A = this chain, B = another copy of it.
Amino acid sequence: MAKVKAQPLEDQLCFAIYKATNQYTKLYRKALEPFDLTYPQYIVLLALWESDHMIIKQLSEKLSLGIGTLNPIISKLVEKDYVTKTPSPMDKRSVVISLTPKGKNSEKTISEMISTKATECDSFTVFDHQFKLKLQELNTLLSHLNDLEEKK
């Protein structure tokens, strides 16, 4: 009977994704440095630019991040005057996260900078719609698998 071998690292989807995230984080670290933002902090701002005044629970779902992860990121954003935390009037358990003027104004500057960076390399256009769709399929699948695990 043949010995069971692991798949080579380079062939594994999970490794390719793992590597891509680390590279993205590295790349964004430099790009976001002038704004004193980390990549996850920027992700939270992206979510808020899309819809301001979400409660932490909503942010958590939109970003697929647990509260244990989100809380320190939000605290940093409060420190840096990008967002504020306000207790919700309707439900005293909830906390509403809102953009400060600085947080709102930064959308333009940061987005411009990011799009400049992106077009520095035309190759980005290589990553077409199909690829993104596949990635979304992958994420849906991973969510389902994680949900299944939850229920065990």
Contact = CB atoms under 8 A, between A and B. Distances in A.
Interface of A: 3-24, 26-28, 30, 39, 43, 46-47, 49-50, 62-65, 107-108, 110-112, 114, 120-121, 123-124, 126-127, 131-132, 134-139, 141-146, 149
Given A8-B50, A47-B9, A19 B149 contact: no
Q: How many copies altogether?
A: 2
Given A9-B43, A19-B139, A127-B138, A4 B108 contact: yes
In order of increasing CB-CB distance, the 8 nearest A-B pairs are A23-B142, A21-B21, A16-B135, A4-B108, A6-B111, A131-B134, A14-B24, A17-B20
A46 B15 contact: yes
